[in-house]
Amino acid sequence: MKRLLLLLLITFSLTANSQKRELGNVTIEELKQKKHSTDTSAVAAILFKTGDVTFNYSQQDGFYIRTNIKAKIKVYKKDGYNWGNFEVLLYNETNAKQSLEIKSAFTYNLVGDKIEKSKLKSDGEFEEKVNKFWTRKKITMPNVKEGSIIEIEYNIKDEGTGLIDEWAFQEQIPVDYSEYSTKIPEYYVYNTHFRGWLVPKITNEDVNESIELRSKERQEIRGRMETANYSEDQITYRLKKTNYKLENIPAIKNEYFTNNIKNYTSSLVLELSMTKFPNQMTQNYSSDWETVTKKIYEYDDFGPELNKTGYFEKDIDELLKGVVSPAEKTGLIFSYVKNRMNWNEMYGYSCQNGVRKAYQDKTGNAAEINLMLTSMLRYAGLSANPILISTRSNGVALYPSRSAFNYVISGVEVENQIIMLDATNKFSLPGILPIRDLNWYGRIIRNNGSSANVNLIPQKKSIDAITLMGSISKDGEITGKVRKKLFDYNAFIFRNNYNNISKESYIEKLEKENLGLEIEEYEVQNNVNLNEPIVESYTFKSTNSVEIIGDKLYVSPLLYFTMKENPFKQESREYPVDFVFPNQDNYKISLTIPEGYTVETLPASKVIAMPDNMAKFSYEISKSNNQIQLSYIFDTNNVIIENGYYETLKNFFKELVNKNNEHIVLKKI
């Protein structure tokens, strides 16, 4: 009897668990739940998510891939509403395409003591063109509120691309259960890659599968085609079934100075390596980087477009009259393309309308502009080649694959150095790329078909040099003048921010960011002269840098430039810190103390450096008569700092912040 009861309990438990992972079983208890059981701060949680990839066979078209996705999501807070929005990228060209079919999509809410069910309507579905080949399908679920449960099921049909979407086990909210299954015929070979630190439980099984082939043959009788004979054949092949499961997955937390959190999120990447059908030649796709780049170079919208001529030669001949220096040629051609062309904000390494039409229309996507630039540089006798990259939003290109890259820039090789160029941004310079491009490594493709890694991380330090002269008043105000010089990437970022808004709006923004700051007589030099550093100058009044207690003034010597808190707050970190580019903040501050006051306390000078000089700051302060002089230099020398140094980095910034917040104490005489 006890054994029977135990079996019944096990059966009930298994049934209950399976029901939880099926759509349509929303309960009042689930809708009433206010917080996640293991992460009470979570704005939402994925209760379960499953993906099932199968290869189906069509007599007419052969194999196609169908991916079925199911998800059940609980929303706890307003900040979790965006988890009711879904995006799916779909590929589409003549011989290969993907399509999306929404099977069901509902939002559930508790109204009184009844469950209200809202169905996705047509106005909640949108399409957005990414480039010539990619479309983004957007789904916005209806009636999403605090407490809602969202359920969605959809199919992706893939005909001819061989693409299997990346599966993310981990998200920026908790995931209670994630399961992914693939059933792949022996004719397709996929490379399997894992990201992140959480490893799913994997089970494999090989089984035999068969396809029924039916063909029709018509017979000729007395010179006419009369009856038809049907023949049937059966093909048997091996099918590899793989199942991946992961439960109770914590949310991955974004933090300051993170590249793309996707790079470190636990996920599965299946990349088509080759196809090997009976009686056909093996087709290689992404076994190594050389194969990948060779395939991309052979695309009609890449290599042939790069080699097109007859549309720019006269203009370039006129531009380069009398110019012989390679550096000058590079600069002139780069400026010409950058000023003539307008980027339509479409990414990709494939041309959409072609370089000729783009040149004529003065508008193009990233590939058209930068492949055109490369062609012109080659025409001028320079060793120029395209560089395939993955932008920061696309993630780091860790594994050889055609989808690893989503962008192309240009590179000129001079004296064993590669000067990188991206003409899509009006404020970029040779060697100064848009921030989106600075993503670890790219791949240069040379004329002879070879390729090589290119380091995209800037090596030269960008400097922010500030000179401030101020006077402290008895009532706690500090007035004075500031002169600020910005070099390289600091200048590039300034130009992108400043030149898109009015001078008045920029000043207002600065004042809002720094409480108690008033700016007058603001001037900026070289905001359009890209070959010179930005120079900002203004007079200021700061009412928030001095605290008066009794007969003493407590002065923050870095004024409104003070770093007030440590940006690194997590106890631990599983992914690197990314500072984007090496940087130096260099402050020279001179403060005049008010008449009738003397310096009672001056912070001590200090120098602190991380191991191998990865980061360093020096703080030197002195007094001479009624003047206080501060020299403060903060260097970040290593752009990428591995997570193994996180505790050291966190403590370094703790000391940095503490030093920033020390005060000069002035005592009334």
Is the pLDDT at 227 greater than 60, yes or no? no
Helix axes 366-379, 326-340, angle to 10 degrees: 150
Is the pLDDT at 217 greater than 80, yes or no? no
Tokens 């992972």 sit at which residue? 21
Nearest to 132 by CA among 90, 165, 161, 92: 92
Residues 6+ apart with CB under 8 A from 635: 461, 582, 583, 584, 615, 616, 617
Nearest to 334 by CA among 262, 248, 428, 418: 428
Average pLDDT over residues 55-83: 94
β-pairing, 114-119 vs 97-111, is: antiparallel
Quickly state the pLDDT bin for 350 (edges 50, 70, 90): very high
Average pLDDT over residues 177-193: 96
Quickly state the pLDDT bin for 533 (edges 50, 70, 90): very high
Residue 308: half-sphere exposure toward Cβ, Cα within 13 Å:
20
Residue 166: predicted pLDDT: 93
Residues 6+ apart with CB under 8 A from 33: 74, 76, 147
- CA dihedral in degrees (294, 67, 14, 106; nearest 10)? 130
Quote the CA–CA distance of 414 and 235 in Å, as a whole number: 57
In sign, the C-alpha dihedral spanning 556, 560, 563, 564 is positive
Quote the CA–CA distance of 372 and 664 in Å, as a whole number: 58
How many distinct helices (H) and strands (E) make up the chain?
11, 36
Residue 507: predicted pLDDT: 95
Percent of the chain having pLDDT more than 70?
94
The count of other CB atoms within 10 Å of the CB of residue 300 is: 10
Please report, for residues 223, 342, 441, 476, 617, the alpha-carbon distance to residue 644 in angstroms, rounded to integers and kept in the order given. 83, 43, 21, 44, 21
Partners of 58 in beta bridges: 62
Is the pLDDT at 12 greater than 60, yes or no? no
Residue 9: predicted pLDDT: 38
Q: Tell me how far apart the terminal alpha carbons of the chain are, to the nearest angstrom.
A: 94
pLDDT (tens digit per residue) in 126-162: 999 887 788 999 999 999 999 999 999 999 999 988 9
In sign, the C-alpha dihedral spanning 594, 597, 601, 607 is positive
- CA dihedral in degrees (76, 70, 94, 140; nearest 10)? -30
Quote the CA–CA distance of 482 and 485 in Å, as a whole number: 10
Tokens of 334: 């780069």
Residue 472: predicted pLDDT: 97
Nearest to 583 by CA among 637, 537, 512: 637
One DSSP character per residue, 223-242 reads TEEEEEEEEEEEEEEEEEEE
Is the pLDDT at 65 greater than 80, yes or no? yes
Question: pLDDT higher for 648 or 227?
Answer: 648
The count of other CB atoms within 10 Å of the CB of residue 484 is: 19
Phi-psi region of 526 (alpha: psi -120 to 50; beta: other; left: phi over 0): left
Residue 624: half-sphere exposure toward Cβ, Cα within 13 Å:
5
Quote the CA–CA distance of 367 and 306 in Å, as a whole number: 9
Quote the CA–CA distance of 366 and 349 in Å, as a whole number: 7
